[in-house]
Structure 1
């Protein structure tokens, strides 16, 4: 890598770029040049999602997934209504984490029995909407269980419920650990038998369990270990359930590579092990529906975030590309959404993808904070005002995971192509 003042001769390679062709040195998405979408966006930064990449990912996954496992899309990864509508036609169900997401899910026409609603701290309005819709409500606490039972009494309905279990193990090496130890998510595994005994006497239709241990994992051995423990725990808890399990959500956790050195997740050993576990579970409980819930894995690599260079300056030997985007649009890329040590997302100049001459630059946004960084000291083709900076791997936890109101700049647009 060259010094800040110098230039290097090379061709940059980017994680995720294989999904998007380059024609006449311009990045294309959905069969059109990125510059065409930029014209539609005017002076606004934007996200663009390629529906064909999403479809291909689901097709490839289903080809290896045990046939007895139902694939659900976790809307929280990308709740854009057009994206959810597209995904609903590819998967067997949807998982939501808010009343607003529930409304989006219902609008797709997905059957209520194939929609589940998880998340701690559901409001009364959330629970009323879930009961009215007839979806599976994932109980996160005994208090929530009694609240749903009270609504059942008021409405004369029999809500479908499942218990979210906080297991006594975690998904090792995951980006976000959501189990093991004290957690706000679910009911501790050792407390579940007692809660199920109480549930047996309430006006609730108990369908099963939700066991989710972590996300963004790229290590097959970690996922295999977590799956082994998940199925074992499910079998043990099923023995103490008030009625036979009809539904088991084993979560997801499949990761995608973002940074140099990370490799695409090898599915083969994971799926081989899952087939064994599924066969054993169905031998014991032949009527149970097994659900795998994935979000990021299905949509992250289908998305781009695009912003425009509005200024270029050199400060004490370091070159900065200042853009109309930033952390208020893409918090994860700025490094402020869970990264301990900030790393660069894969970046390119969309309208001049390759060049024999690269500059070492930092890409920043317009905000008055040193945290507003999209790329730090990266070798990129020499760019100027008006050029397009593109961040790959941006289809999940981008638009809705970012603080759009921070400093009151315009929010980004979204396109599904």
Structure 2
């Protein structure tokens, strides 16, 4: 039994394995396939020029087995808290392959980053001043500065990135003023740049347009500094599809384009850094929750699940549903019309709601089998990123979901 061909890159594992796992776990659970993680990292690494480093964005999924998998593959890591630094070190990562970012870094955060030996990306003169005080070494601390570009691309419901006003970084038009102020702190030296201006972008051409903007800003920054840059961090933004009719990001085209970007910028002799999180982790995971009850209210069909925004918050934040399929123990996949479909049930528009006492508890909508009944399992794909750790896990004190690691 397999998932339908159009959904094989949306759901880790297969229907039969998921049903086995559902039998073994009484409550909602996440399941992750580490084999998918290894394959994704290897595929992206092979598509990129040698001078491009891959820093896994820990925020997308900080699960220790996943961090260990990427560390063993040679990944860098993008961290944004002292906790993430600790997790990466526990997984075998090192500060030499770690960048540290965040718009409001605490003293604890900065101390953790310095202890690990991570490359700090400063967001303003306050970061520079504190690092100047914290640096007790013999040499200036080399840092990168995050620049908020004047324009960029982002997902429709922006979570991070894009142009316009931002809590992140130094506005592009204020870079020269920032550099002048930073010269007063001689125990800190700016030698790198970070630009993050996209999120979940599926078009390689649009990503490359942002990357060319980053190189332009880098050239201007180097001119203001009076010396070259050793690192330009292009941020993340590598997207995954959440619907079968969406395109997949062409990472080969992205890699070839980055090769051209480097050729177009001979002034830059350092390394580029990409911070993929979702692209690496999302396809590794699924979330499984049983149906508790169904109802129709004033013409709208609801399916109530045993887990809601206490486990999956992102659909509420972005308005974008995770892909879903339905399984029935002892039967198999429902409603897809393919070889795994044992019922032939019609698909009907459905709103998926959770168990929380708030009308905000909506975890998606889509076409699901009309005969869904209590005990059936709804499976959410692409749930390896921005899922369990982004959720409202303590709201109403429901149990936290189990996490199962396979492979």
* TM-score, L = length of structure 1: 0.86
Map of 2:310 onto structure 1? 328
Query: How many angstroms does 1:345 deviate by?
Result: 2.5
Quickly say closer, same or farther: Cα 1:20–1:336, change in 2 above 3 A: closer
Query: How many angstroms does 1:398 deviate by?
Result: 0.3
Q: Bigger shift: 102-111 or 397-406?
A: 102-111
Q: Map of 1:265-414 to 2, 5 A cutoff?
A: 265-281=249-265, 283-286=266-269, 288-315=270-297, 319-332=301-314, 335-339=315-319, 343-351=320-328, 352-353=332-333, 354=341, 355-358=343-346, 360=348, 361-376=350-365, 378-380=367-369, 382-414=371-403
Query: How many angstroms does 1:14 deviate by?
Result: 6.0
Contact 2:48 2:252 in 1 (8 A): no
Map of 2:131 onto structure 1? 148
Task: Decide which of 108, 114, 137 is 2:120's aligned counterpart.
Answer: 137
Contact 1:165 1:189 in 2 (8 A): yes
Contact 2:11 2:381 in 1 (8 A): no
* Matches of 1:374 and 1:204, distance apart in 2: 46
Deviations 1:135-170 (A, max 9, x none): 1111011111101111125x7775342111111221
* Matches of 1:203 and 1:256, distance apart in 2: 41
Query: How many angstroms does 1:394 deviate by?
Result: 0.8
* Matches of 2:361 and 2:124, distance apart in 1: 38
Map of 2:94 onto structure 1? 111
Map of 2:336 onto structure 1? none
Map of 1:6 onto structure 2? none
Contact 2:12 2:32 in 1 (8 A): no
* Matches of 2:155 and 2:397, distance apart in 1: 37
Quickly say closer, same or farther: Cα 1:135–1:274, change in 2 above 3 A: same
Gaps of 5+ in 2: 334-340
Map of 2:166 onto structure 1? 183
Query: How many angstroms does 1:346 deviate by?
Result: 1.6
Deviations 1:175-225 (A, max 9, x none): 635242221101112322333344344212433111111211112332122
- Residue 238 in 1 paired to residue 226 in 2? no
Map of 1:54 onto structure 2? 37
Map of 2:246 onto structure 1? 262
* TM-score, L = length of structure 2: 0.88
Contact 2:28 2:306 in 1 (8 A): yes
Deviations 1:239-289 (A, max 9, x none): 2225431111111211111135321112344333211111233x3233x12
Q: Map of 1:90-101 to 2, 5 A cutoff?
A: 90-101=73-84
Gaps of 5+ in 1: 1-10
* Matches of 1:296 and 1:363, distance apart in 2: 23
Q: Name the SS for the 2:245 alignment partner.
A: coil
Contact 1:321 1:362 in 2 (8 A): yes
* Matches of 1:69 and 1:52, distance apart in 2: 23
Map of 1:5 onto structure 2? none
Map of 1:166 onto structure 2? 148
Q: Name the SS for the 1:82 alignment partner.
A: helix
Query: How many angstroms does 1:96 deviate by?
Result: 0.5
Q: Name the SS for the 1:239 alignment partner.
A: helix
* Matches of 1:238 and 1:157, distance apart in 2: 20
Contact 1:69 1:290 in 2 (8 A): yes
Q: How many residues align?
A: 390
